[in-house]
Structure 1
Amino acid sequence: MRNKKILVTGADGFIGSHLTEELVQQGYDVRAFVLYNSFNSWGWLDSSPEYIKKDLEVFAGDVRDPHGVKEAMKGCDAILHLASLIAIPYSYHSPDTYVDTNIKGTLNVLQAARELGISKVVHTSTSEVYGTAQYVPINEEHPLQGQSPYSASKIGADQMALSFYRSFETPVAIIRPFNTYGPRQSARAVIPTIITQLASGKKKIKLGALSPTRDFNFVKDTVNGFISVMNSEKSIGEVINIGSNYEVSIEETAKLIAEVMGVDIEIESDDIRLRPEKSEVERLWADNQKAKQLLKWEPVYGGKEGLKKGLKETADWFLDKQNLSQYKADVYNI
Structure 2
Amino acid sequence: MKISNKKILVTGADGFIGSHLVQSLLDRGYDVRAFVFYNSFNSWGWLDTLSPERIRSLDVFLGDVRDPNGVTKAMEGCSVVFHLAALIAIPFSYHSPDSYVDTNIKGTLNVLQAARRLGTERVIVTSTSEVYGTAQYAPIDERHPSQGQSPYSATKIGADRLAESFFKSFETPVIIARPFNTYGPRQSARAVIPTVITQLLSGVKNLQLGDLSPTRDFNFVRDTVEGFIALAECDKAVGEEVNIATGVEHTIADVANFLISEINPEVKIISDEQRMRPDASEVFRLIGDNKKITTLTDWRPIHDLHTGLRATVDWFRVPENFLRYKAWLYNI
Specify the TM-score bucket, using the shorter chain as the normaliser. Answer: over 0.9
For structure 2, list consecutive stretches of 5 or more residues without a partner in the other structure.
Answer: none
Moved more, 73-82 or 256-265: 256-265
For the residue of structure 2 that corresponds to 1:109, the secondary structure is helix
> What code does the residue aligned with 2:30 have?
Y
1:323 counterpart residue number = 321
> What code does the residue aligned with 2:220 have?
F
1:290 counterpart residue number = 292
Q: Please say if 1:60 is aligned against 2:62.
A: yes
Find the aligned partners of 1:54 and 1:312 in 2 and give their Cα distance: 31
Picking from 48, 51, 57, the partner of 2:50 is: 48
Question: Is the CA contact (8 Å cut-off) linking 2:200 and 2:264 kept in structure 1?
Answer: no
Which structure 2 residues correspond to residues 1-334 of structure 1 after superposition, within 5 A? 1-261=3-263, 263-301=265-303, 306-334=304-332
Find the aligned partners of 2:226 and 2:76 in 1 and give their Cα distance: 25
Between the two proteins, what is the percent identity of the paired residues? 63
Please report how far the alpha carbon of residue 52 of structure 1 lies from its aligned counterpart in structure 2 after TM superposition: 2.3
Find the aligned partners of 2:264 and 2:199 in 1 and give their Cα distance: 14
For the residue of structure 1 that corresponds to 2:280, the secondary structure is helix
Find the aligned partners of 1:120 and 1:263 in 2 and give their Cα distance: 48
Please report how far the alpha carbon of residue 295 of structure 1 lies from its aligned counterpart in structure 2 after TM superposition: 1.3
Find the aligned partners of 1:200 and 1:11 in 2 and give their Cα distance: 29
Please report how far the alpha carbon of residue 3 of structure 1 lies from its aligned counterpart in structure 2 after TM superposition: 1.5
Question: Is the CA contact (8 Å cut-off) linking 1:205 and 1:266 kept in structure 2?
Answer: yes
Question: Is the CA contact (8 Å cut-off) linking 1:25 and 1:52 kept in structure 2?
Answer: no
Please report how far the alpha carbon of residue 244 of structure 1 lies from its aligned counterpart in structure 2 after TM superposition: 1.0
Per-residue CA distance 1:60-106 (angstroms, 9 max, x = gap) = 00000000000000000000000000000000010000000000000
Per-residue CA distance 1:31-52 (angstroms, 9 max, x = gap) = 0000000000000000111232
Question: Is the CA contact (8 Å cut-off) linking 1:130 and 1:142 kept in structure 2?
Answer: yes
For structure 1, list consecutive stretches of 5 or more residues without a partner in the other structure.
Answer: none
For the residue of structure 1 that corresponds to 2:135, the secondary structure is coil
Please report how far the alpha carbon of residue 262 of structure 1 lies from its aligned counterpart in structure 2 after TM superposition: 5.2
For these two proteins, the number of residue pairs brought into alignment is 330
